[in-house]
Amino acid sequence: MSDTTDPQRLLTRMLVSAINAREQESDRVSRTLHDEVGQVLSAVGLQLDALKLEFQDRVPEIVSATNNIQTMLEQAMNEVRALSYDLNPAVVERVGLQYALDRLVGRFRNRYKGSLRFLFDSSVRVPLNIANAWYKITEHALENSIQHANSSKIEVHVRPTGKAMILEIRDNGAGFSVADAKQKSSGLGLLLMEHYASQADLQLEAQSDSEHGTVIRCSYAPDAGRRSKSSEKKDKEKDAGAK
């Protein structure tokens, strides 16, 4: 069945198109905050320094006044810088997977009433396309969990296991039927996670029930691609030999 006749695939393509458009706009806002607003705030800080140096002998109280303003200005600059990073769709490329996920989890932690833990094994190394897919999958998994699971605990874990690298998002919430979710609008997050996994040639598993909550597991086997290419080469050699 083609993408034009499969409702789920068509819906996924429409959602991805909308998300891509949103990311382009986020990139524009991010660059504006970083390049324009950030520079203006920095310039204001320099002007305050110049003002303080010029008038501190004649108006001694100007020192404490400008210091207070510069403290508030520094807070504003930090907020602008953080917002610029969060809005940038290339955040993984700019700061690395671990820091990007840490910031993402921190953003969700601010709106989650339960315990949200992030565990990252520093030995994990994955290509950029895998890291980007993991970031997007984590974002949708956390959104789903916080909105629908009614959980008190969520864990995001990145770790090596055997010959694979694993991203795992688990909660202790109410659980759901994975099969039913794929057929309903409430399963849009799961459809998008599957899309991002397939685009990066990753294995995505979703397990959920009312007793154990939900586990989203996405695995990357560094040698899988090499084994696949090797098998393909051997098959071609067999075909050539048979002719």
Bridge partners, residue 214, by sequence: 171, 208
Q: Starting at the earlier edge strand, list the strands of the sheet with 153-161.
A: 115-120, 153-161, 164-171, 213-220, 203-209
Residue segments in the chain with a per-residue pLDDT below the cut of 50: 1-2, 186, 226-243
pLDDT at residue number 188: 75
C-alpha of 108 from chain center:
11
Helix (H) or strand (E) holding 167, with range, is: strand 164-171
Helices (H), the chain: 7-32, 38-55, 62-87, 91-95, 97-109, 128-144, 178-181, 188-199, 224-242
pLDDT tens figures, 50-68: 989 998 888 889 999 999 9
pLDDT tens figures, 180-219: 665 555 457 888 888 889 889 999 999 988 888 999 999 9
pLDDT at residue number 164: 93
CA angle at 211 for the pair 206 and 217, rounded to the nearest 5°: 20
Q: Which CATH number fits domain 94-226: 3.40.50.300, 3.30.930.10, 3.40.1280.10, 3.30.565.10?
A: 3.30.565.10
Contacts of 125 (CB under 8 A, 6+ apart): 165
Farthest-apart Cα atoms in the chain, separation: 96
Dihedral class, residue 34 (left if φ above 0, else alpha if ψ from -120 to 50, else beta) = alpha
Percent of the chain whose predicted confidence (pLDDT) is above 90: 36
Angstrom distance (rounded) from CA 129 to CA 139? 16
pLDDT at residue number 233: 47
Residues in the chain: 243
Contacts of 88 (CB under 8 A, 6+ apart): 26, 27, 30, 94
